[in-house]
Chains A and B, each alone.
Chain A
């Protein structure tokens, strides 16, 4: 078996498409010959820096996006549901404290990174619950199996300069200045020593083609039966 190819997933739990991308990619963890590195980033920062804009700010695009998410959730089998007040939850409240917490995990307890990210998505993008208050973040940590004292300790570090700069650094891809992120999810695939960017949740079939792997649809376990 040749060396595993490294895929970096840049995501923010404020982004529903990131959730779809995260779940689908992780389903392929043991199917494709790959190593997945999770890279929590701050979407609002990337969008403002690149001059991009949230798709939902164009009314027709927003309306389509809600419909698209509903259909993709069913097809991808991810229990995504719109928050009752999208603009307040997603655009106004955002995800800064949540992503700082996730970054703290990445730095000191990466074994909980996947689980806590998923629990945060479940809160904001399925159960219409807050992800900005300390109590909300602790709830997510608890559900992901983090001992309470550890979760509290990590939470107390999230405004430290180390965490803040790590969250920023995560999305600045040092190994290749040519890769510029403008949105999430973004997957950077390292293929033959060259990094390639795949934006969104709709390039998996193309990614598979580039990796020389087989695309078995968004729910590969099912299609293998």
Chain B
């Protein structure tokens, strides 16, 4: 077997399409010959730096997106549900503290990064719960099986210069790859990097990796 190809996933838990991309990509972890590197980064930072704006700011696009997310959630089998107050939760409250918390985990306990990311998405994009308060972050960590002392330690580190810098670096690295939104997958193929934006380029990604696309729920399609 040839060396696994590296796929870097840049994501922010404020982004519902990032959740879809995250779950689908991880389902292929042991199906494709790939190494997946998770990079928490700030969507707000990427938007600001590139002059991009959230799709929901165009009303018709926002209406479509709500419908699209609902349909994709069913098709991708990810339990996504709109928060009751989208603008307040997604645009106003945002995800800065959550993404700092994930960055602290990435730096000191990366084995919990996948699980805590998923639990944060569950809160904001499925259960209509807060992800900005310390208590909310601790709840997500607990559900992901992170021992309380480690979670507390990550929480206390999250406003440290090291963590802030690391999150900034993750975001800048994304920008260097040409990222303008999330999720973004950077695939390293034959010593070249290829950027795939969104949760709808998996079939094309598979084609470029020389792998087979088995749909968004590959385990089911193999039965």
Contact = CB atoms under 8 A, between A and B. Distances in A.
A64 B64 CA distance: 23
Contact of B197 (A68, A181, A205, A210): A68
Nearest to B61: A182
Contact of B50 (A58, A181, A210): A58
Contact of A51 (B51, B58, B181, B207): B58
A206 B58 contact: no
Contact of A202 (B180, B194, B198, B208): B198
Interface size bracket, B side? 20 to 34
B71 interface: yes
Contact of B67 (A71, A72, A197): A197
A209 interface: yes
A217 B213 CA distance: 10
B60 interface: yes
A52 interface: yes
Interface size bracket, A side? 20 to 34
Nearest to B71: A206
Interface string B39-71: 000000000001110000011110110011001
A209 B76 CA distance: 11
A78 to B, nearest CB: 13
Nearest to A71: B204
B195 interface: yes
B6 interface: no
B215 interface: yes
B180 A60 contact: yes
A22 B192 CA distance: 31
B201 interface: yes
Given A50-B61, A200-B200, A218-B203, 6 more contacts: A59-B50, A60-B52, A61-B180, A180-B60, A180-B64, A182-B64
Interface of A: 50-52, 58-61, 63-64, 67-68, 71-72, 75, 180-183, 196-197, 199-200, 202-203, 205-206, 209-210, 217-218
Interface of B: 50-52, 58-61, 63-64, 67-68, 71-72, 75, 175, 178-181, 194-195, 197-198, 200-201, 203-204, 207-208, 215-216
Across chains A and B, which 4 residue pairs bring their CB atoms closest together, nearest first?
A202-B200, A60-B180, A182-B60, A180-B60
